[in-house]
Amino acid sequence: MPKIKTKRAAAKRLKRTASGKLKRRSGWKRHKLESKPPKRKRQLRKALLVAKVDQPRLDALVPYL
């Protein structure tokens, strides 16, 4: 069987955890930061896990990650 190509854009944005889940960065942190409270900006620094419903779709994009 042929190998599956990895979508490079997705591979640059996602990391795999030890248990096999996908980790992603938070959005909403590019501009208009002066109007957002410091607590919200601090919480947006953390990486989040991909939602359970999105996991199968993203697994197909990054099969070898």
Residue 2 has what pLDDT? Answer: 92
Report pLDDT digits (tens) over 33-64.
Answer: 999 999 999 999 999 999 999 999 999 999 99
Q: In angstroms, how far is the first alpha carbon of the chain from the final one?
A: 19
Average pLDDT of the chain, as a whole number: 96
pTM above 0.75, yes or no: yes
Residue 21 has what pLDDT? Answer: 96
- Count the neighbouring beta carbons within 10 Å of the beta carbon of residue 15: 14
Residue 23 has what pLDDT? Answer: 97
Report pLDDT digits (tens) over 8-25.
Answer: 999 999 999 999 999 999
- Domain boundaries of the chain, sorted by first residue: 8-60
User: What fold, for 8-60?
Assistant: Factor Xa Inhibitor (4.10.410)
Phi then psi for residue 23, to 5 deg, are -110, 140
